[in-house]
Amino acid sequence: MPAAEGEETQPAPRRGLDPWVRFTLLFALLALGSELLYYGWVLGSPALEIYLHWIAAVSGWFIAFFDPQASVSGSQIGSAFFIVDIAPECDAVQLSALLAAAIVAFPAPWRARALGLVAGLAFLQAVNFTRIVSLYYVGGAFERHFHVAHERGWPGLLIALTVGTWLVWARWAVPSRPDPEQGEGA
């Protein structure tokens, strides 16, 4: 029955899960799945060894601009200055998987999700190369600070950048809508 003049109509009740509950559950499921996949299959696999070697090769290429003596062997980059070994779990795979899980689980258009995945994962990879190059130089020039930079500074920064990347993407992917309560001029 239509509402009488002056009466407010109530929206129809929503069906299904609240979008935030759905996002949280799907994100948790995808994040858990990525951890199980990482520790159950990826860790120790030949694919991870190839990936670690690729990370070392790209990072070594950047390092060679400032230290032409640096060379890459497997997942190690070294010279008389310092040796850094890109070890499993220091490869940004888990943070990339968490970012991917958050983007895929978020209620946004699939095109925005695809763009977010490409841009976000490329950004995290660039940050990881920067981390490795900086750790090489911190280790060589300030060896006593290497442990703090490697195990405290960079992990915290990587986590913050991963969360920040998702927040920036989510804000972009779902532009704010005008609040109907505030009217046109608000």
The domain total for the chain is 1
What would the two tokens of residue 70 be? 């640096």
Does residue 38 form part of some domain?
yes
Q: How confident is the model over 79-100, as a mean pLDDT?
A: 94
Q: Is the pTM of this model over 0.85?
A: no
Q: How confident is the model over 127-142, as a mean pLDDT?
A: 97
Per-residue pLDDT of 138-183, as tens digits, reads 999 999 999 999 999 999 999 999 999 999 999 999 877 666 666 5
Structural domain span for residue 85: 19-173
Does residue 182 form part of some domain?
no
Q: How confident is the model over 104-128, as a mean pLDDT?
A: 97
Q: Is the pLDDT of residue 1 over 70?
A: no
What would the two tokens of residue 73 be? 């062997």
DSSP code of 87? -
Q: Is the pLDDT of residue 184 over 90?
A: no
Does residue 13 form part of some domain?
no
Does residue 12 form part of some domain?
no
Does residue 108 form part of some domain?
yes
pLDDT band for position 82 (cuts 50, 70, 90): very high
The residues near 166 (Cβ < 8 Å, ≥ 6 apart) are 99, 102, 103, 120
Question: Measuring CA to CA, which residue among 87, 72, 63, 75 is closest to residue 140?
Answer: 63
Does residue 103 form part of some domain?
yes
pLDDT of residue 179: 65
Does residue 3 form part of some domain?
no
Does residue 117 form part of some domain?
yes
Strand-pair partners of 76: 73, 85
CA distance 99 to 94: 9
